[in-house]
Structure 1
């Protein structure tokens, strides 16, 4: 059996679930893809871009604490994150959901109450 994604430092169950939705099933697959390709796949699958999430992934794949990223290294990672975000197109349905969220149209199941 392969190690779960959550076995990688800094990455928990929520990140593991996002990876599963992006078709990344194991820690080894995530390592093989590398941070940039994996993050692009997460964005394509509908994950909202978030710089901290990106650099936490980078630090985790390097076996470093999430908050170990500082100074020039953090600046360089920000440039990589911006490039990934700019070059990644989201699935049309993910963009629709994002747009609905932005205007407050979409509701969750917990918002619905039986009559």
Structure 2
């Protein structure tokens, strides 16, 4: 049996929906993979990346209110958030774009039926 994401105090219906789009469907899944991996999946699923959402997730998984994050702790989260976004952006820039992938599939299909020379 799995527990709803919204059972975690600080995770509301909209946030839960975003995590479900990212393939994280239960509170157990979220706790197991942790805040950083979950937020990376959140971004990779096309959800918007917001610093407050990132540190609020950390706070929620610690059982703390989002506005409990201050000072050095908040600065450390900012550094981790910026590094996470930079890593995802670097991975995205090295991967073929959707247009490039689509063109490769089209070329393969046209080649398969003999409309263009095989490469």
**TM-score for both structures, normalised by structure 2:** 0.74
For structure 1, the residue ranges without an aligned partner over 5 or more in a row are 94-115
Per the alignment, residue 77 of structure 2 pairs with 77
Cα distance in 1 between the residues matched to 2:29 and 2:38:
9
Q: Which SS does the other structure have where 1:88 is aligned?
A: helix
Task: Kindly state the Cα deviation for residue 37 of structure 1 after the two structures are TM-superposed.
Answer: 0.3
- TM-score, normalising length from structure 1? 0.76
Higher relative contact order (CA 8 A, sep 6+): 1
Q: Tell me, in whole angstroms, the C-alpha distance in 2 between the residues paired with 1:19 and 1:78.
A: 21
Deviations 1:59-109, CA, capped at 9 Å, x for gaps? 00000011000000000000000011111146956xxxxxxxxxxxxxxxx
Structure 1 stretches (4+) deviating beyond 4 angstroms? 89-93
List aligned pairs for 1:10-25, cutoff 5 A: 10-25=10-25
Matched, 1:67 2:87: no
Instruction: State how 1:1-115 maps to structure 2 within 5 Å.
Output: 1-89=1-89
Q: Rg larger in 1 or in 2?
A: 2
SS in 2 for 1:81: helix
TM-align CA RMSD: 1.5
Q: Distance in 2 between matches of 1:38 and 1:71?
A: 24
Alignment size in residue pairs: 93
Cα distance in 2 between the residues matched to 1:62 and 1:53: 14
